[in-house]
Structure 1
């Protein structure tokens, strides 16, 4: 898709399957099952697809996928991995390599977003890129607590740290692209606003992971601070809808982007996620 002068595409970062009760939290299954598919094990399919933004002079990646060869057999089984990442193959479609990426913007550092940052030796997947991460998120990642250590993996640290830029409330890594700290899903979770020539999009990441989560009260059981997620969605979602933003999705298995009606429920325009084989 295009947002003004920006071209936005999807990279194959792999896919996972997570328990429906975890993804939809306290929402009863009779409600969420009408809006999102699930299998016999009550798992819901989720993409883990980074976004590539190409501007006139920069190439920017949002989040990093689950990597290739980074998960153990047990982890592959537990997280229902159907396909590992193929970032280099995806970039090749645009005549790019990992060396061409100028910036990596991380909404947060949970394993399904950050495992694709490095290889098993800790070498950066995107060796020439500046990596932007919210400051509290970085410290939580480096020193997780008893709960968060299950999703902040020490193995995802690497030499990209030398090229990491931390921010607190907000930062603008590129003109028209703004990262905003929201908290909620994690203490340092951030959303990313994109604007060019009057056209707008937002990636709300895991406080709004699928189109089914448009209701501000529908938040994941993985959220460390669910009331903060709800507050952020209550404050931001309606604003973005009224200002005619596209919503971009990293996890939704069917939709890459959508716009919503003022009722806050009905999708008025959609772009389906490309299929990777």
Structure 2
């Protein structure tokens, strides 16, 4: 199994195969007209765009850390598979095995938010029961996100599912605005896509990477004004993107992706041009 691997200083990042969906391009780019966004991201005749759901295995400070958890296996009904355009389910077990690991080896999981396409993989069906996929991991979730996960509103109940939190609730630790998880690894609450959405900042040996998760789901969303119709608080997304992208580019940061089907990592210059990248290994 071919997996994208990339180093950031002393940190090693490996993208695991977490699944592939095809969602409506209009929803993914919100009010941006199709003639604009379709020049920057592939789209099929049904107006669907390919979106990965690939967790990042972060090897740092002698620990095995996951950023996000993938689509999971056997977690969607046939109707959901059709509605969400599911093309490929997770191959997390196979991906970990390719690295000589099992789910029991994962010690920390960073969840930027708890929508189904990020957290389905936290839970597995075993002998008819839903159980934690990563039984030894501490799972970090922003406190507002965790609260809404357990008590969703009329809009968010379609993506916050009880089956995704009950089996793992004893493993969850929450935080408020900023959490320095380990040296060079910090979580920052942004809101925007969801009330409790957070991003991940990675810094090692003078090299910086920002994982902006779903406030910038693909490289084509790097314009701060290009936000998804799925965002609950779009103006918060815009303000957070404006801040983090501008500061990141000024600091020579790389930007990593969970959903992008073209790039794993990109670096932009101040004109918004891609000056370096790592493509998705097929």
TM-score calculated relative to the size of structure 1: 0.97
How far 1:91 moved relative to its partner?
A: 0.6
- 2:104 is aligned with 1:99: yes
Structure 2, gaps ≥5 residues long:
1-5
Residue aligning to 1:11: 16
Residue aligning to 2:162: 154
Match of 2:144 among 136, 151, 157: 136
* Alpha carbons 1:135, 1:167 under 8 Å: kept: yes
How far 1:158 moved relative to its partner?
A: 3.3
Cα distance in structure 2, aligned partners of 1:173 and 1:118 = 23
* Alpha carbons 1:122, 1:157 under 8 Å: kept: no
Residue aligning to 1:169: 177
Q: How many residues in Structure 1 have an aligned counterpart in Structure 2?
A: 274
How far 1:25 moved relative to its partner?
A: 0.1
Match of 1:2 among 2, 7, 11: 7
- Residue correspondence of structure 1 range 205-244 to structure 2 within 5 A: 205-244=213-252
Cα distance in structure 2, aligned partners of 1:143 and 1:53 = 31
Cα distance in structure 1, aligned partners of 2:144 and 2:67 = 18
Residue aligning to 1:198: 206
Q: Secondary structure at the match of 2:169?
A: helix
Cα distance in structure 1, aligned partners of 2:275 and 2:134 = 36
Q: Deviations over 1:6-45 (max 9, x none)?
A: 1001001101111111000000001001001111110111
Q: Secondary structure at the match of 1:127?
A: coil
Structure 1, gaps ≥5 residues long:
none
Q: Deviations over 1:59-93 (max 9, x none)?
A: 00000111011111111111111110010100111
- 2:197 is aligned with 1:186: no
- 2:27 is aligned with 1:22: yes
Residue aligning to 1:259: 267
Q: Secondary structure at the match of 2:224?
A: coil
TM-score calculated relative to the size of structure 2: 0.96
Q: Deviations over 1:206-255 (max 9, x none)?
A: 00000000000000000000000000011111100110111000001010
Q: Secondary structure at the match of 1:82?
A: strand
RMSD of Structure 2 on Structure 1 (CA) = 0.8
Decide which structure has greater strand share: 2
Cα distance in structure 2, aligned partners of 1:269 and 1:115 = 32
Q: Secondary structure at the match of 2:148?
A: helix
